[in-house]
Structure 1
Amino acid sequence: MASIHPKDNILTSRLRFVKKPWIWVPFTLLLVFLIILTQIDLESIKESLIEKVSSETGLKVEIDEIGFGFSGGLGLQCKGVKVSTPKGNHYSVDRLDLLAAWSPLLSGEFEIKSAALIHPVIKLEIPERPQPPIEKEKPEKDNKEKPEDQPGLVSSKTLQSTTSKIKDTPLTIDKFVISDGQIILTHPGGTKQLLLNVDGTFKLNRAEGMDILAKAVKVQTGSIIFEGDGTVSNLGADNAGIAMNLNTGGFALKEIQPTLQFFGVSLQETPLQAIDVDRLLLKAEFPLNSLSKMEVLKKQMTGHIDVKTRNTILKPGYSIETLEGEATWENGVLSHNFSGTALASEFNLNGKFPFSGLDKDSISRVEWKNLDIGKLPLKEGMAWSPTQGKVSGKLSLTGPLTQEKSQLKGSVEFQAEGLVLKPANEGRPIEMSRLTGRGDFDQGQLQHEIHGNVWGSAFDIKGKVGMDNPVLNSTINWTGLDVAQLPSGEGWQPVEGKLSGTLKLLGPTPAEGEKFPGQLEGSLKFKAQNLKLQNADSALSLKQLEGSGDLKNHQVNYDLKGDTFDGTFHSDGRIILSASGASPPVLNNKIEFSHIDLSQLLTTSEKGNLSGTIKLNGPLPDAENLLTGKLRIDTSFNVTDLSMSAGSVPLNIKHLEGKASLKQGKLTHDLNGSLFGGNMAVKGDLTFHKNKITADSNLMLNHVGLDWAPLIHKSAPSSGTVTGNLKIKGPLPTDEKISPELKLKGSLEGEKLVFENRTIETAKLNFEESTSTLTQVQVELDKIKLEDKNFKKVIALFKITPQKIELTKGKVWPMNGLILLVGDLRPESGSYHLKFKGEELQVEELFPKHLMGSLQFSGAMDGTLPQGKDEPGLPDYSRDLSGDIKFKLVDGAIPELGTLKNFLTLLNPTTALNAQKKGLSYDYLGGDFKIVKGVVHTDNFEMISPQINLNVVGKANLVDDTVLAQVKAMPLQMLDKTIKAIPLLGAILGGGKKGGVIETYFKVHGKLSQPDFTMQAHKSLTEKPGSILKELLNLPKNLGSGK
C-alpha cells in the first residue's frame, strides 16, 4: 500500500470543509447583504432624516457625517450632530447610533427603532429663581380665612401640552440610550455654570397605551452621584402615573451647596449648618395629573425613604452625631421611625405626620437617654444656666399641628440626676441630686407633677399651666430646706436653719411689659426653725418663724410670728402693689414685740428689755426719704433696765417709755424715763426737712447726772446734776453748729458742777420769752472757783439774734471789787467787740503769783475769733485785735521778778539781789495801751517804787512774739534823797542838766516771751565824764551866781 504525503491530507480536509453548506451559505448571504447596502443612498437618508426630525420637532439639525454602524445591531452612525432649538438652546453629540427597521430601509425609507447618544453635550439656559414677594401684613380677619391652595409643581396646561407632544410625535423610537452625556446649565447673562453628567436608557412601550421606562439612570454633579430608574405609565390616559427609585452613595452638605446656590436655594435661613449623608434611598409613586395640584399630590403620592446621616449641626449649635431610619408615606400621611445620637444622648423618634393637611391628627413620640445637659447650646445671659446633669425621658404628641394648641394632646416624662444650675453672677450654684416629672397636655393646658431634691429638701410641684397665655394653677411643697445653701445676695443672708412650706399660684403670669404680679394670685404658708440671718455687721437668730399670706388683686395679706432675742414678735397687715409698677407699695401693717433682749439685738447693749408696737400706713418711700415721705409710722414702746453705750457715752436707763407718730415728715413724740440717776421727759414735735431738723418740744430734767458729759466734749462738766424745764423751738444743731434761729424758753439749773480744776456751786440759765428774731438768756453763776482764783458771783444777760450775740449787764464779782462787761459777737464772721471796767479789785485775786495791790482798769477791744483751728493760741486771737486798755495798780508789790530780774541785774546787782529776796514793791504801776492789729503801743507805762522808778516807751507784737521798747530807769531812792538835799551835788553829777547819774536808759528787744535788755551808753553815765568836769570848773561861777 502506497503511503500518502501529509500535505495531501491537509488539502483534502480543507476541500471537504468548504463543501459543507452551513459554512459557505452565511458568507454568501453576508455578501449579498453587503451588495444590497451598497445600493442604499446614505445622503438621501441623511437628508430625509434631517427633514423629518426638523418638520416634526421644529428643531434645526445638522449632521456632518453618516454611515453604517454595528453597535447593538446594524444601523446608522451619525457624527458631528448639532441641534438648535427655536429658543436658542444648542445640543451636540459626538456620535449618534440609530438602529433602523429593516423593511422600510430596503424600500428606501428610514424608521428609527432606537437611538444611542455618545457624549452628547447640551447647553441649557434656565431663568433665575424669582425672589418671593415681600408679604404685607394682613388684617387679623384675613389671617383667619381659609388659606389658598398651593400651586402644583407643573401647571395643568403645561402638563397636557407636554403629554400631547410626546404622544402625538410620529417618531418610531422605542429605545433611547445616553452615554457620557453632559448637561451644562447657565443663567441668562450670567457666567456661572452647572455641569451634570448623565447616563441612562429610556424605552417607549406603545402596546396598549404609552409607557416610558428609564433604567440605569445616573446623574453626577461634582462628587455627588444619584442613581435610579423610573416609569411613566399610560401616558395620555386619565390613569397615567409615575414611579421612581432614587439612591445615592453619600455626600456632605458642603458638596451639594454649589448646586443649591446655582438654583437660588439658600440655607442661611434654615437651621441646618452641616450634615454628612451616608445613605439616601427614595421610592415614590403618584398620578401624573397630581403634579398640577399640590394637595392632590400630597394625598395620592406613596413612597418610602431610607436615610443615614452623620455629623449634623443645627443652629444655634445643636449636634446630631448619627441619625438612621426610614419613613413611608401613603394617603397623605408620613410614618417615620428614626434613631440616633444627639448631644451624646441616644434617642428614638417615630410617629405619623399628615403633610396633606395640618388639621389632621399627627402622632409623634420622642425618647432619649442620658442627655448631657451641659452640652446644650443655651443662649447667653440667662439668670441660671445648667452646667452638669444627665436627663432621660420621653415625649409624645397627638393632634393637628395647627396654631390652635388646644387641639393638641401629649404627655412627657423625664428623670434628671446630678443637675447643677449656675447663676449668671458669682453666686453659689444650685445642685439637684434628683429631679423627676411627668405631664399631660390637653386642651391647651399642661397638667404637671415634678418631684426632686434641692438644698437638702424634698419638694414637689403639682398643677396646671396654660400654654397659649400661660395661666398657672400650681402648688409647690417643700420640707426641710437647708437655707444655708440658698443663693447669696445683698443684705441679710440666711446661714442656718430649716424651712418647710407650701406655695400656691393661680392665674396668668405677667405679660411682657407688665409688672409683677399682674393678675397672678397666690398663697404661702411656711415654718422655719433655728433660723439664723447674717449681714456684714451683725446676726439675727430666730428659734421659730412661721407665717402665711395671700396675693390677690395686687394686694398681699400676711400674718407672721416668731421668737427671737429671748422674746416674741407678731406682724400682720396688708401691702398693696401698683399694677403698673410706677407707684411704690402701700403698707397697712402692725408689728408687736414683747420682752426683746436688747443685749442680743444691739452690739452696744449689755442688757435691757424692750416691748412695744409699730404701725405702718401709707406708701413706702425710698430709704433717703423715709422721714419725709407719706408713710405714717405710729409706735409705742417700753424699755427697762437698759445698759448700753452710745458711742463713748455709757447709758443706764432703768425705765423709758413713750409713744411717737411720724406723718409727712413730722414726728410727734411723748417720752419719759429715768436715766443718769434722774428723770427725763420730752414732749412735742420734730419736723424733718431735707437738710435740717426743726423742733417744737418741751424738755424736762430732774437731777440728771452729768458724769457722762466729758465723753461728748472735753470742756463739759465731769460731775454734777442738771434740772430744768425748757421749750425748744427751731432748727437743731448740725455739724456742731448752732443756728441763731433756734429759740429756747425756760430754765436750766446745774448743781455742784466740776470742770477738771474748776467748780461751780450753782449755774442757772434762764431763757426768756423770745421773738422771731431775738432770744434772751440770763446766766447766773454762784461760788465759782477757777484753779486758785475764787469768784463770788457772775451775772450776764445775752441777747441773741440771727446776726449777733449781744452781752449786756455783764457783772463779775471776785472776792473784792466788781468787773463790768458789755460786748457782742457775730457768729457768722467771728468778729466781736468788748468793753470792760474793773473797780476796787485786788490784783492778787486775779494773778496771785505775779502781782499784788489794788487794781482798776478799763478799756475796749475789737477782734475776730480764729476759725478752723482746734486749739488756737495767742497769735491767732491777736491777729485782728485792736483797742485801748488802761489800768492802774497802787500800793502793791511784784512777788516774783520774772524777766525783770535780768533788767535789775544789769542796772545794779545789789538791787536785783535784794528784790529777788524780798520782792519789788511799788507805789504806782500803770499806763495807757493802744492795740492795732495785734501790736500793743504805749508811751506812758510807768512804775514808781522805793527801789527804782521805770518809764517804758515802745511796742510789742503779740502775733510775732516780738518787742521793741526803751526803758528809763532811775537810781536807788537813797541817792535821790541826797541829791535833793544837796542840789549842788546833783548839778555836778548831772553835768549841768537834769538826769545825771539819776537815770539810765535800756533797749528792750527780741522775743516778747523772753526779751533782751541792752544798756544805751550814750544816754547813760558813760557819756558824762566831760560834762561833770565842766561843771566842776564852773562851780565858783555857779556859786557866785547863786545857782
Structure 2
Amino acid sequence: MVKLSKTALWLTGISGILLMVAVSCVLLFPSQGLLEKINRKITEEFRLKTGYELQYKSLDLSLFPSPHVVFRKIHISSPGLFDTEMPSLTVVPRLLAFIRGNAEIASIRCEAPQTNLQLVSMPQSETQSETIASHLQAQEDVVAFLAGLASKLPDLQIFIADGRLNLMEKDKPRFQFHDIHGSIHLSPERPKVEVQCKSDLFEAISLNAWLDTKTLKSQGKFSLTRLTPQKLTHYFFPYANCQVKGGQADFEATFESSGPQMIQSHFRGKIPYLDLLQNGEDIFLKGGTFEGTVQRNGDQLDVAFSRLQFDTPRGSLTGKYFRDARIPLARLDLDGKDIDAAALRKVALALGGNNEAISKVFTIIRAGDVPLITCVAQGKTLSDLKKLDHMVINGRMIDGTILVPKIDLEVQKANGEVLISEEILEGKNLEGVAGKSFGREGKLIIGLMKGDNTPFHLDILLDADLVQLPPILERVVKSDAFLREMRLMKEIQGRAVGHLVLGESLDAVKTDLDIQSFNLSSNYQRLPSPLHIQGGTFGYHGNEVTVQSASGTLGKSALSQVSVAVRWGNETRLEVTSSSRSRIDLDAIYPWLLTHPVVKRFLKHFESMKGVLLVDSLNMKGPVLRPGDWVFQAEGGVENFSMNSSFLPGLLTVKKGRFEADAEKLSFFDCSARILDSSFVVTGSLDGYTKGLRAADLSVSGELGTEGNRYISDLIHLPDTFRLRSPLQFSQARFAWNLNGDTSFSAQMSPKDGPKMGIEVLHNRLKLNIKKLVVKDDASDASASLLLSEGEFDISFAGGLKKSSVDRLLLRNPFFTGAVEGSFETQFSLDAPLNSKAGGQLHIEGFQYKDGLKKPAVIERADLSAVGNQIHVKSSQVSWGGSLLNFQGNVDFSAQGLLLNMDVSADSLDWDQIRYMKEESLPTARPILTKSLSEPPSPRRGDESFQADTKKKPNLTLQGLLNVKAGKFTYGKLTWQDVATRVFLQGDEARVEFTKGSLCGIPTQGTIGVTSGSYHLEAKPNAKDVDIVPTLACLWNRSNLMTGRFDLTGDLKATGNHHDLTQSLEGNLKLTVRDGRIYRMGLLARIFSVINITEIYRGKFPDLMEEGFAYDTIEAEGSLAKGKMTLKKGIIDGPYLKMVWRGTVDLQNENLDMTVLVSPLRTVDRIISSIPLLGNVLGGSLIAIPVRVTGNIKDPNVVPLAPSAIGAELFGYVERTFKLPVTLLQPFL
C-alpha cells in the first residue's frame, strides 16, 4: 500500500511535466508527426521516471473555457502488479504561470479510473512489534511526502470521480472498491485530503484530513460503515480454527498530530453482530460498541479503551495498552465488568484457542457472570503480553460453571474469586453446586504452565450427594484396596457434609477427605444386608480410612456411635471403637462371618450363633488377616442368644446376660443360660480364651437335669459310683482354675428329694485339698475333709452318714450298706511323720470300697480310735473276694513313717487274689480346663487326649509287723492249711515268715522277702511218717495212686520276679516212702509195658490196677538248680520189682530225661532158668533190663537200651544198693 501511494504521487508530478511538454509541442509543432514524437516522448519519460508503461489513445488540448489537456483512454500498467484504465485524465495548468511559461498545474481530474491491483501474500515471519513499527514509519513517510509534494506542487488540486479499484487474486477480483470519489488539495501551508468510496467489504468509507506543512500538525477523520469482515478473514486467515461466517461493523476515528512522532486519536464504533464459526459451531457476538484513544509520543504508545461492550457475549471492558520502545516495555491493563463467561469462553477459545493460557483458563471456566475482572500483562514486547507468566488476572464469578481438573467435576452456580498469576490459577471463597452436591469456602490452585509436577490444590467444604462421590474418588484415589472396597458398594444413596482436599500436583494427586456428618445407604457386597449409616464423620487420608461416631443399621442390626479405621501398608490393619450401645443380629451376622476363611478358622469350634449381641463399648485394633493378634476391649450383653459348639453337648441358650472382654480375658455376668435339660445363671471370667485358656473363674447357680448331669460327669471322667442323682439343684457354686496354679470348686448342691451337700475343693500340682464336704438331711449330718500333698496327708470326718442319705444322693450307691459315725481326724506329715497326729473315734458299718480293686472290699464293721500319734483299730471285719478278714491293732506315726502292729485273721487267703487285687491301670482324666480351647475336649470316657498327671501322689511309708493267721492259703493249685505268718514291713520291702502251715500234710516253714517286685524264697519242708494217700490226692488232685507213709526233708531257695521264680529255684530234697502199694502210675505202666513186650516168655506179674504193686521202700534224692531237678538217687525196692533210676526233670518245661534199670524178679528168673547153661552161669545174681525215659512228664517215651549204653557209675550204684552182682540183659527185640 505504501508503494501504491508513492506511485500515485509520482504520477501526479509527472502529469504536470507531461502537460507542459504536451502544450508546448502542440502550440509550437502542431503537425501530425510532431504529435507522435510528443506521445513517444511522454511515454518514454513516464517509463523512465516510474518504470511503468503508459499508453493513451489521444491527447487533446483545449484553450477554452481555460487551457487544459485531456488524455483519452489512458492505460497505465506494470505486468504482474497492476494496471489502470480511465476514459480521460484532464490536466488544467495554472493560467498565469502558463503564460509566463512555467509548467504549474492547477488541477488534475481523473474520470472513472479503474485499477486492477494484484494481491501479494502477507509476510509470515514479521513480528507484531515490527508490524506496528512499520505502520508508524509509513504514517511518518506519508506525512513527509505530502509536505514535500505540497511544497513542489503548491495549490494543486486532484479530483477523482467514479473510480473503481479491484484487488485481484490471479485473474479474478478478490475485493472490489467502487464509487470512489475524492480530492486532494496540495496547499503549501495546509494540504487537505477528502476521499469516499464503496466496496463489497463495507457500505462506505471516508477520509478527511489536513496537514500543516510548517508545524507538521495534522488532523483528520476516518469513518467506515457496515464493514463485513468475513471476506477479509477468509483470505488473510484461511486456516484459522475460527472463521468469520458473517458480521457487520461501523468505525469512526478522529486524529490529530502536533508534530513528528506525536499523534492522538479518538475512535469509536459498533459491531451490531459478528457470526464466528468454530468446529462447526456458530458463535455470535451482538450489540458491540467500543470507544477509545490512541496517543503516540515519540517511542511511547498509549492505546486506551474507554469502552468495549457487547450485549452478546454480555460484558464490558476497559483497558489500556502502553509501549515504550526505549526501555523496552509493553503493558496491558484491562478491566472487565458484567461479563458473560460462557459466551466469552466461546469467543476466547474461537479467537485465541491456540494460546495455551487461554485454552487452560477456559477449560476450567465454562460459564457464569463475572461482575468484575482485571488483567495486567507486562513484558518487553507485545508478544510477551500473550504469555501467561507475564499476566496477572483477578476477578470474581457469580452463578458460574467450572470444571475442576483431574476429578472432571463440573460445578454449577459457582461463585468465587479468581487470581491468575505466575502461571497459577488460584480460586478463593469458591462455592457451587454439582448435581445435588454443594460446595463452599473452596480454594483452588491450578498450575497453567507446561512440564511435570504442575501445581494443583483443591480445598473445599462439601455438602455432597454420595451418588456422585465414587466417580470422583475413582479418578483421584490411588489406593487399590480402597477402590476395590468402594466398587463393592452398590445402590449408594445419601449425603455427606465435609472437607475435601486434593493436591499437590496434577501428576500425583493426593486425596484428603474429611466428612463431618453423613448419611449413607448402600448395598455393600461384603455385608449380608443393606447398610444404612447416619451421623458421624468419615475420613480418607492416603492409606487410611476412618469413620467416627457413626450410627446406622445393617439388616436387623443397629449400630450406634461406632468408629472404624482401616490402614493399608505392609498389611491391612483395622481399628474399631464404640461408646454407645449397638445391637447385633447374630442370626444374619454370624453366618456371614463364617464366609470369611480367616474368621472361619478363628471360629472353627463355634458352628452357629443366634440371637442379639448388645455392644455397649468396643475398642479393637489389629491386623485384619490375623484375628489372633487383635487387641480389644468390649462391654455389652446378649439377649435370646443360642450357640452350637464342638465344646458343648447341645444347643446353649442364654436368655440374657452381660459380658466384658479383651484379648486376654472374657468376663460375663448374670447370664441366664440353658443347655440340654439344665438351666443355670453364671457369672465368671476366662483368661487367655482366644489362644489357650490360662485361667477360669465361674460362679453358677441353677439345676442340672439328667442329660446335663451325665454330660458333666462324663466330661470330668467322674466314676459311675460317684455320680449324683438328677435333677441336681446347685447354688453358690464357684469354680476357679489357673493353668499353672490352683483349681478350686465350691458349691451347695441337692438332688431332688435328696440331702443337701456342700463341697469346697482346692487342687493344684502340689496338693488336693477337699476343705469341706458336707451331707445333711433328716437321717445324716456329716462333714469331711481331705488334704493330699507331697508332704502332707490329712483327713477328717465328723457326724453321721447313713445309707438312706447316700442312696438319695448318688445315682448308684455301691458304698454304703450301713452307716459311718463318729468324729475322727488325722494329720500325717510325709516329710516328718513323727509330727503327725490323729484323734477321735469312728464307727463304720457296711462300707464298700472298690477303687482300683478287682473285687470290692466291704467293711462289715470297724471301730477306730486315735490319740496323739497312734490310731487304734479296736476291731474290724472286712469281706473281700470271698474271704472274711479281721483286723486288730495299732498304727503309730514314727520318724520313718507309719508303724503297724496289727493282728490279722482270715478264714482263707488266695495268693493270686492278693497279687492281682487291683484293676489294670487306666488313664485318669486331668482337669478339663488344662486343655486349650483350640482343642475341644471329648466327653467320652477313656479318651486318650486326657492323660494322667505325671506327678505322683505322695506315698505312705509303711513299717511294722502284721501277725496273720488264715485257715487256708492258696497259691495257684496248692493250698496250705492252718497258716500263721509274721509279715515285717520296711518301706518298699517286706518279709513274710511262715511260722506255721502245711501243704497237703507237709509241714512247711520258710520266709518270703519282697523288694521292689523281686522275691526271695526260703523253704524247709519237714514231714515225718505222714500218710501219703491224702498228700498225693492234694498235690495231684488224684486218688488211689499209691499207699504208704513217707518222710520228706529239704532246703529250697529262689530269687527273682514272679515269672522266673521257678527258674531260679535251687536246693535239695530227700524222700523216703515205706510199706505200701502202687496202684496207678503212668510211668511205671509204660515201663512195664515195654518190658512185657520184649519178653519171649510170659511171666506171672501182679495186676497194678487190681492188686497194686507192692514195695518195701521208695527212696529219692535230688537237687534243684536253674529250673531243673537232678535225681541223684532213685530206688524202688519191692518183692516183685527192683528199680533204679537217675536223670533230670525240667520243672519249667515239664520234660524228663532218665535212665532206668528195671529188675522184675519173677519174670527174669524164669527166663534165665529156661535157657541152657545160662541158668547155671547167672544163678545167684540180679538181672536188670535198661530203658530210657524222655519227653513230657504227662506222656513220656520209653525205649529199651543196650547194656553198653549204661554207664559204669549207674551200674556200680545198683550193685552197692542191692549188694548183689548185676547182670545186664539186653531186651529181646
TM superposition score normalised by structure 2? 0.45
Matched, 1:535 2:646: yes
Cα 1:1007–1:361 shift into 2, 3 Å: same
Q: Which residue of 2 aligns with 1:333?
A: 427
Determine if the alignment matches structure 1 residue 915 to structure 2 residue 1017: no
Q: Is it true that 1:1000 corresponds to 2:1000 in the alignment?
A: no
Q: In the alignment, does 2:1023 pair up with 1:839? A: yes
SS at structure 1 position matched to 2:582: strand
In the alignment, what sits opposite 2:681?
A: 570
Q: Is the radius of gyration larger for structure 1 or structure 2?
A: 2
SS in 1 for 2:1104: helix
Shift, 1:934, TM fit: 2.7
1:822: how far off? 0.6
What does residue range 439-838 of structure 1 map to in structure 2 within 5 Å?
439-441=535-537, 446-453=548-555, 458-463=556-561, 465=563, 472-478=578-584, 481=587, 485=591, 487=594, 499-505=611-617, 523-528=635-640, 531=642, 533-535=644-646, 539-541=649-651, 545-549=655-659, 556=667, 558-564=669-675, 566-572=677-683, 589-594=698-703, 596-597=705-706, 601-602=710-711, 608-609=725-726, 610-612=728-730, 621-622=738-739, 625=740, 629-635=741-747, 637=749, 659-662=760-763, 665-669=766-770, 670=773, 673=806, 675-676=813-814, 678=816, 702-704=845-847, 716-717=854-855, 721-723=858-860, 753-754=880-881, 760-762=883-885, 769=892, 771-772=896-897, 774-776=958-960, 778=962, 779-782=964-967, 791-801=976-986, 804-809=989-994, 811-813=996-998, 816-827=1001-1012, 830=1014, 832-838=1016-1022
CA distance in 1, matches of 2:602, 2:1008: 58
Q: Cα distance, 1:102 vs. partner?
A: 9.6
Per the TM alignment, residue 776 of structure 1 is displaced from its structure 2 partner at its CA by 4.4
Change (3 A) 1:29 1:783: closer
Q: Cα deviation per residue 1:826-878 (whole Å; 9 max; x = unaligned)? A: 336x4644434253663422323176665634332324336xxxxx6xxx655
Question: Quick one: structure 1 residues 886 and 776, their matched pair in 2 at CA, closer, same or farther if it must change by over 3 Å?
Answer: farther
Partner letter of residue 858 of structure 1? G
Q: Secondary structure at the match of 1:539?
A: coil
CA distance in 2, matches of 1:616, 1:1008: 70
Aligned match of 1:948: 1137
| Residue equivalent to 1:368 | 467
Instruction: Please tell me whether residue 411 in structure 1 is matched to residue 517 in structure 2.
Output: yes
Code of the aligned partner of 2:738: P
Deviations 1:1008-1031 (A, max 9, x none): 55432222232699x9xxxxxxxx
Match of 1:936 among 1125, 1139, 1164: 1125
CA RMSD of aligned residues (A): 7.0
Amino acid of the residue matched to residue 621 of structure 1? N
- CA distance in structure 1 between the partners assigned to 2:301 and 2:830 by the alignment: 109
CA-to-aligned-CA distance 1:101-153 (integer Å, 9 cap, x gap): 59989999xxxxxxxxxxxxxxxxxxxxxxxxxxxxxxxxxxxxxxxxxxxxx
The answer as to 2:1200 corresponding to 1:1015 is yes
Q: How does 1:840-919 map to 2 (within 5 A)?
A: 842-849=1031-1038, 854=1046, 856-865=1048-1057, 878-890=1062-1074, 896-908=1080-1092, 914-917=1103-1106
Question: CA 1:589 to 1:500, structure 2 compared with 1: closer, same or farther past 3 Å?
Answer: same
For each residue in 1:953-972, what CA deviation from the matched residue of structure 2 results, as whole angstroms up to 9, or x when unmatched?
A: 22234566654321122324
Deviations 1:596-616 (A, max 9, x none): 435753386798223445765
TM-aligned CA deviation for residue 747 of structure 1: 11
Instruction: Give the SS at the match of 2:1088.
Output: helix
Q: CA deviation at 1:584?
A: 8.7
Please say if residues 1000 and 1019 of structure 1, whose CA atoms lie closer than 8 Å, have aligned partners that are also in contact. Answer: no
Query: What is the distance in 1 between the residues matched to 2:487 and 2:1061?
Result: 74
Task: Give the superposition deviation at 1:361.
Answer: 5.5
Secondary structure of 1:903 counterpart: helix
TM-score (norm 1): 0.52
Q: Secondary structure of the residue that 1:474 maps to in structure 2?
A: coil
Partners in 2 of 1:1014 and 1:930 — Cα distance? 26
Q: Is the 1:761–1:784 contact (alpha carbons within 8 Å) kept by the matching residues of 2?
A: no
Displacement after TM superposition at 1:355 (Å): 3.6
Tell me the distance in 1 between the aligned counterparts of 2:322 and 2:874.
126
Alignment of 1:354-393 (within 5 A): 354-355=443-444, 362-363=461-462, 365-368=464-467, 390-393=490-493
Which amino acid in structure 2 is aligned with residue 1004 of structure 1? V
Mark the CA change 1:638 to 1:1007 in structure 2 (over 3 Å): closer, same or farther. same
Give 1:65-144 correspondences, 5 Å limit: 72-73=121-122, 101=134
- In the aligned structure 1, how far is the partner of 2:674 from the partner of 2:644? 14
Give the drift of 1:390.
3.2
Structure 2 SS opposite 1:905: helix
Do the aligned residues in 1 keep the contact of 2:609 with 2:644 (CA within 8 Å)?
Answer: no
**CA distance in 1: counterparts of 2:552 and 2:588, whole angstroms:** 20
Q: Give the superposition deviation at 1:1000.
A: 2.1
**Equivalent residues of 1:568, 1:595 under 8 A apart:** yes
Seen in structure 2, the aligned counterparts of structure 1 residues 965 and 819 have a Cα distance that, compared at 3 Å, is: same
Shift of the 1011–877 alpha-carbon distance from structure 1 to 2, 3 Å rule, reads: farther
CA contact (8 A) 1:554 1:577 kept: yes
The Cα offsets for residues 727-771 of structure 1, whole Å up to 9 and x where unpaired, read as: 9xxxxxxxxxxxxxxx999799776655xxxx5454769895573
Give the equivalent residue in structure 1 for 2:532. Answer: 436
Q: Which structure 2 residue ranges, 5 or more long, are not aligned?
A: 1-54, 59-70, 85-117, 142-235, 241-295, 305-318, 324-328, 336-343, 351-359, 367-373, 380-384, 419-425, 446-455, 504-510, 540-545, 567-574, 595-599, 715-719, 774-783, 785-800, 808-812, 832-837, 865-869, 898-956, 1094-1098, 1209-1229
Deviations 1:365-390 (A, max 9, x none): 25228989xx9999899xx9999773
- Aligned AA (1:435): L
Aligned ranges for residues 258-273 of structure 1 at < 5 Å? none
Q: Deviations over 1:403-428 (max 9, x none)?
A: 9x99965322222348445xxxxxxx
